[in-house]
Amino acid sequence: MTTTKANLTEFEQQLVDKAIGAMENAYCKYSNFKVGAALVCDDGEIIIGANHENASYGATICAERSAIVTALTKGHRKFKYIVVATELEAPCSPCGVCRQVLIEFGDYKVILGSSTSDQIIETTTYELLPYAFTPKSLDDHEKETEERKHHNDHNNKE
């Protein structure tokens, strides 16, 4: 849903401000495209992240993953929100890799914001990546594999 910063709760507005502030920590000497993120852990701790580019572009890490990895390192596994901000007037959506990393930890609120306008997009991790491959996909596969094995074992005994 597209809205404006004024329609967010005070807490959500503060998160957008934290994500915008995190942009100052971005290391983006190649693209000059600053991105900041503010991740709210299940216990309420807020962890920020910024994008960090590398001359070997594949080694670049996005702000969203920067925040998630920091949270994981601190022992967090459940999240309530992630806010992502850029300097673009229209909010910018996370890349595909970030969407996959975000959804690894379930469905939670995503707010996309801007440091240059009041435009906001509110969504969720599941809405960002419908039909995602998640830990549940692996659980389902394991269960189905076990059922097939059991079925084959039963048929081979006959």
Cα separation, 90 vs 79, whole angstroms: 25
Q: Look at strands 109-114 and 79-86 and give their pairing.
A: parallel
Cα separation, 9 vs 7, whole angstroms: 7
Q: Is 76 labelled a binding residue?
A: no
Q: 89 φ, ψ to 5°?
A: -65, -45
Q: Is 54 labelled a binding residue?
A: yes
Q: Is 56 labelled a binding residue?
A: yes
Residues assigned a catalytic role: 64
* Ramachandran quadrant class, 32 (left: phi over 0; alpha: psi -120 to 50; beta: rest): left
Q: Is 7 labelled a binding residue?
A: no
Q: Is 28 labelled a binding residue?
A: no
Q: Is 66 labelled a binding residue?
A: no
Binding site for Zn(2+), by residue number, is 62, 95, 98
Binding site for substrate, by residue number, is 51-57
Binding site, by residue number, is 51-57, 62, 95, 98
